[in-house]
Amino acid sequence: MATVEFGDWLPDQAQMATGVVQALNTIRTPAGYRPLPDIKVLSKAAIPAPAPALVMVRDHLDDIQVFAVGNDGHVYSFDRANLNWLQRTTAPYPNTPLWYFVEFGNKLLAANGQSQILSLDLSSTTTKFAPISGSAPHPKFITLIKDQIFAGNYTAVPEADRIGWSAINDPTNWGSDQSLLMDYQDNPDCGALMGLVGGAYGTALFEKVVKRISFVGPPVIYEFDPILNSHGCIIEGSVVAHLNFVFYISPAGFMMFDGNSVTPIGAEQVDRWFFADLQMSGLDSIRAGVDPRNHIIMWIYPGAGGDGVTNNHCIIFNLALRKWSHGQMDASCMGQVALPGYTLDELDSVLPAGASPGGIDSLQASLDSRTWQGGQLFLGAMDYDGNLCNFTAPPRTAVIDTKQVNFTEMRRSMLSMMYPVVEGDQTAVSAQVFSKGRAENSWGWGPILTENSEGWIGCRREGRFHRIRVFIDGWWTHALGVEYVAWPMGFR
């Protein structure tokens, strides 16, 4: 008995060379694929949707707070006791598709491109965001590099390529003063700033250039070194950082910046497929997120079959393996989230409406989920109804296509039996066979067939080349490949 293994999903390559032709609603593993959980509503109330931004912060007492932005221009904080939202702005900031946040001491600073930098006191759950005092700019981007706040893409001037930084340890003091180590720099011929990432050094992603920002001291203070001059970032919402890497989408595809060089992680793998699937009218809807536990980078975007604006697809990069998969995902934004821990008594108070006390089976996540474990990071999302969600819902139907296979060398063959190798007790597996006589022919396909009590799927498909499509429903754990029985046929 022979086996076709589920190898790498490389849609930009020939179907005879790639590992699998399709890996829908899956995540790549070293030996195959595992399911991509769907999003499940966690909150009991919603904010005005769709929400463009989601962020988690810790105050100076290590208390966790989660914030989201509604499409009404208000910022809301998540009330973990009641699983609902509290408005934290006094006035809306409409038409602000993206917000950026940064913690500074016991303050949460925010930039939205329309107002002066906003500030919120994290020590109170009743305070509201307000413009920061002093001479702070009106930027689209904000981050923290060492002990200084950086702001970029000034909208009031306007200077889309300008990056400025505050006085050291003072986010209210802006301008140009070497004694206070504050200044700004314009970056002509770089295009507009599309992303700004902080840390021990900074990463500035312009439309045409990627620059590294390094502290060198007076009189220059910060040095802006071009790392990549051929192209930059084309989508603001595609920028996300994890570990020592920054990920983004350029005109050439998916990129990873490690502080010294840029690696094209999607080249000859998924870039051409992605841009063919992407609805270009929905570039502003694209968002990126990180599953910190599994080192998964995910981009949600408007793909084929949608309205061109609403995110309905996702593409997934497994950083540990440097391999790809894809899926269906209806979310307006994503972000790393953590909640304070819950006792069993407290879990009764957060049960969904209509659930009986003690009905733990009705919880928004299982008891062993990281959702209820205090301080444990997990990937969260906002659905298009304005609800906070976690990734704990049953996975959508996984669809995995094997590569194009010639079962018998230089001859046609009859495929008679298939056995999808899928681990999981609560699964339903079916398969469909695609066949053709020559490599350049179009595919003919048979019906979708279900497995018998022993897991075998009987069929009769004749051709020179075959491709097996496997459908997996339920809570499965791993999909490794397809065992098969095929018989050689005579020459024609």
**What is d(CA 439, CA 350) in angstroms, rounded to the nearest whole number?**
57
226 in Cβ contact with 260 (< 8 Å): no
Q: Are residues 90 and 194 in the same domain?
A: yes
Same structural domain, 90 and 120: yes
Predicted confidence (pLDDT) per residue in 427-449, tens digit:
999 999 999 988 888 999 999 99
Do 298 and 228 have their domain in common?
A: yes
Distance CA 239, CA 260 (A): 17
Asked if residue 348 belongs to a domain, the reply is: no
**DSSP string for 39-96:** EEE--SS--SSS--EEEEEE-TT--EEEEEE-TTS-EEEEETTTTEEEE-BSS---S-
Over residues 174-178, the mean pLDDT reads 94
What is the mean pLDDT of the segment spanning 275-280?
96
* DSSP symbols for 207-255: SS-EEEEEEEETTTEEEEEEEE-S-----GGG-EEETTEEEEEETTEEE
Distance CA 324, CA 316 (A): 6
Mean of per-residue pLDDT scores for the chain: 90
Rounded Cα distance, 113 and 133, in Å: 17
Q: Is the pLDDT of residue 345 over 80?
A: no
Cα three-residue angle 476-39-195, rounded to 5 degrees:
120
Q: Is residue 357 part of a domain?
A: no
Which pLDDT belongs to residue 2?
Answer: 87
Report the CATH number at residue 65: 2.130.10.10
> Are 329 and 204 found together in one domain?
yes
Is 235 a member of any domain? yes
Regarding whether 152 and 70 lie in a shared domain, the answer is yes
3-class state of residue 120 by DSSP: strand
Residue 355 lies in a domain: no
Asked if residue 303 has pLDDT above 90, the reply is yes
Query: Do both 204 and 122 map to the same domain?
Result: yes
Instruction: Please tell me the predicted confidence (pLDDT) of residue 248.
Output: 98
Domain contains 356: no
Residue 13 sits in the same domain as residue 122: no
Query: Mean of the pLDDT values across residues 109-116?
Result: 94
Q: Which two tokens stand for residue 75?
A: 């910022």
Q: Which of 27-41, 87-101, 236-250, 344-358 has the lowest mean pLDDT?
A: 344-358
Instruction: Give the model's pLDDT for residue 230.
Output: 84
Q: In sequence order, what are the residues at sequence separation of 6 or more whose Cβ sits closer than 8 angstroms to the Cβ of residue 267?
A: 252, 253
| CATH number of the domain encompassing residue 447 | 2.60.120
Count of structural domains, the chain: 2
Residues 129 and 278 occupy one common structural domain: yes
487 alpha carbon, distance to own chain's centre: 44
pLDDT at 450: 94
In a domain, 354, yes or no: no
105 and 86 assigned to the same domain:
yes
Tokens of 406: 């010639």
Q: Taking Cα atoms as reference points, which of 322, 393, 377, 264 lies closest to residue 29?
A: 322
pLDDT at 387 over 50: yes
Tell whether 198 is covered by a domain. yes
pLDDT of residue 63: 74
Q: What angle do CA 174, 178, 184 make, to 5 degrees?
A: 45
Structural domain for 11, as ranges: 2-35+396-488
Tens of pLDDT along 18-36?
889 999 999 999 999 999 9
